[in-house]
Amino acid sequence: MAACLAAVGLGLATTPAAAANAVCVLACDTQDPSLAHQESFPVPNKDLNGRRLELHVSVTDDMAWASIDSGVTGDSVWLDRSWDGGATWEGLLGKASIPATWTGTRTLMYNITDPRNHRRGLVRACGDAAAVGCTNWAYPSVCDTLCDGTDAGQAAGDDQPVPSTTLYGRTIRLHVDQRNSMAWAAIDTGGAGDEIWLDRSWDGGSTWPDGSSLGRTSIPSGTTTRTAMYATRDPRGLLYGGAVRACGREAGHQEGSCTAWVRPAPSRARAAADALMASYDPYNGWWLSSWWNSAATLTSLIDFARTTGTHDYDWVIARTFDQNKGTFAAGVRSSDAIEGDFISRAVDDSGWWAIAWLDAYDYTRDSRYLNEAVTIGQYVQRYWDTGTCSGGVWWDRERTYKNAVTNGQYLWLTTALHQRIPGDTVWLQRAKSAAAWYRSSGMINSSGLVNDGLTSACANNGSTVWSYNQGLAIGGFTELWRTTGDSSLLSTARTLADAAITSATLTRAGVLTESCDIGSASCDDNQKQFKGIFMRHFADLAKATASSTYQNYVQKQADTLWAQDRSYLNTFGERWAGTTPNQTDWRTQAGALGALTAAAG
């Protein structure tokens, strides 16, 4: 509130800010304009003593550059970039002077927005030709389906998702057009001189340098007054899940008050995806600090796009691939070295990436993703070993453990590769061998639940039943049944599914629950994402069988998440029933997205 109240009397400064570090999004600042994928001119040229000053933008790259033409030696051109709506700016970016015998020059390219650090920028072209002048700022308004400043009378709906706030008899309300992700503020029974406005933040309400006092409106006495509508998503700038709040000031006491911050929810799955994207690092192309989790999260995002027909995040697929296909020393992406092609000593980590790239291939039909999955699959195949336990894939390169996750992946992966490679027989035979081995391995216990793995003596080790192991097995047997028509495979998948939804080991009060969701326990970064993986494969079985029992279970998870585990910012925690302690981060968000997408399908 202190920041909100301080904004009441804030006057806009118009002074240059100190230059910051280079911004990196899809490329880093100072990229050569010859590499731009597109060129547009979002603002009129500026005539500067007969010189033509021009701002160029590649929307595809979200980068800008400036040029000056019809000039003389010594004339100069540069970019200004502002992160606070034009109040202050980084000046002289890429400053270039016209050399002898030339009549014009241009700057290098600079990023307009910085989604990695949740900042939306403005840019303008400036020059010095016997006087200094600048074009208008580009993109002062955010545009999504609708643009900033649209009249609230054009809203597709009027929802009030957070409680109003009161101030000396005034009621300040936040209104949201959920379908279009737009918002506006209103004040009831205001007095002369009262004001109403909207704040917009790109980092969940931590800061709002370019979104303070949007649509600030003075109020005639005794009336209800509202602002215009403002967008909460900036697809051009790769900024999603903007948060908004309604604020007002009471004139007589010079005091203000604001509602809670909220993110719109155009649909359940879209709300989860928008909030998830706030954690994606577009420059490095992953969700920071978890290697295999990033692969599973990308899979969730692709499933969402394919299920809902939402294409806003299609660029994430290629970006993740291009930025991570190479080699990385231990500690950069994982505690293990990444040796190229998403491969490391952790066989299961490699398997998650193979699954992601098969999903990407299905969605885009780009053969490079299928080729990558084949490469990883061939690596995993090296660790199928009949010399120990008569078969199964080792969990790691050191061959220390045969476990459920790696072999569940292997069953699904070999089947999926066969389905996508015309004329294949090799992967199909491997899938059949994997299914036969899995069923006889002992990992499926007498209750139909999958324990974590095998002992050195090749017996069920009795270790924790995790939902993702159960889900991978369900998915693998379901897919192989689709391919072969062998009804015994579908029967196995059903047995595993029935055990999962009826046993208190994985389901409590109808809600999918890990052992680390109970009491005062907490899940580690790996375990936070397990349930979303289960839901992906369980929903596949529900679709294959058209079982109302399975479909109702899928819907129950989505309904419970939405009702009991969602914040005003559309973040979801580890515990879908909403009990405490409840951890929340991008891994739990990806897990929830998997469940919400499953229900949307």
Averaged pLDDT for residues 289-297: 96
Which pLDDT band holds residue 509 (cuts at 50, 70, 90)? very high
Per-residue pLDDT tens digits for 416-427: 999 999 999 999
Give the model's pLDDT for residue 135. 98
pLDDT at 130 over 70: yes
Q: How many CA atoms lie within 13 A of 161 on its CB side?
A: 24
Q: What pLDDT score was predicted for residue 21?
A: 84
> Over the stretch 342-361, which tens digit does the pLDDT of each residue have?
999 999 999 999 999 999 99
DSSP per position, 312-367 = TTHHHHHHHHHHHSSEE-TTTSSSSPEESTT--SBHHHHHHHHHHHHHHHHHH--H
Residue 15: pLDDT over 80: no
2-11, 71-80, 276-285, 540-549: least confidently modelled range:
2-11
Global pTM reads: 0.94
**pLDDT class of 6 with cuts at 50, 70, 90:** very low
Q: Which residue has the higher pLDDT, 80 or 192?
A: 80
Q: Residue 220 has what pLDDT? A: 83
pLDDT at 17: 54
> Which structure tokens are listed for 249?
């000031």
Residue 21: both structure tokens together: 């570090």
Least confident of 248-252, 513-517, 584-588: 248-252
Strand partners, 229: 150
Q: Which pLDDT belongs to residue 189?
A: 85
| Rounded (10°) angle between helices 530-545 and 487-502 | 130
pLDDT exceeds cutoff 80 at 20: no
pLDDT at 337 over 60: yes
Residue 203 has a pLDDT of 97
Instruction: Tell me the pLDDT of the chain averaged across its residues.
Output: 95
| Segment 42-71 mean pLDDT | 97
H/E stretch holding 152: none
Q: Is the predicted pLDDT of residue 126 greater than 80, yes or no? A: yes
Q: Give yes or no for residue 222 having a pLDDT over 80.
A: no
Q: What are phi and psi of 105, to 5 degrees?
A: -160, 175
Q: Is the pLDDT of residue 5 over 50?
A: no
- Kindly write down the DSSP assignment for every residue of 452-506, as one continuous string: SBB-TTSSB------HHHHHHHHHHHHHHHHHH--HHHHHHHHHHHHHHHHSTTT
> What pLDDT was estimated at residue 13?
36
Average pLDDT over residues 117-123: 97
CA angle 575, 579, 585 (to 5 degrees): 40
The closest of 48, 73, 77 to 65, measured between CA atoms, is 77
* Contact predicate 281/298, CB 8 Å: no
> Is a pLDDT exceeding 70 seen at residue 18?
no
Measuring CA to CA, which residue among 392, 381, 431 is closest to residue 411? 431
Express each pLDDT in 67-94 by its tens digit: 999 999 999 999 999 999 999 999 999 9
Compute the distance between CA of residue 277 and CA of residue 266 in angstroms, rounded to an integer.
15
Report pLDDT for 3: 34
CA angle 271, 272, 274 (to 5 degrees): 65
The per-residue pLDDT for 39 is: 98
Residue 414 scores a pLDDT above 70: yes
Across 479-493, average pLDDT: 98
User: What mean pLDDT comes out for the span 381-399?
Assistant: 98
Mean per-residue pLDDT for 293-315?
Answer: 97
For the segment 522-555, what is each residue's pLDDT rounded down to a tens digit?
A: 999 999 999 999 999 999 999 999 999 999 999 9
The rounded percent of the chain whose pLDDT value lies above 70 is: 97
Q: What share of the chain in percent tops pLDDT 90?
A: 94
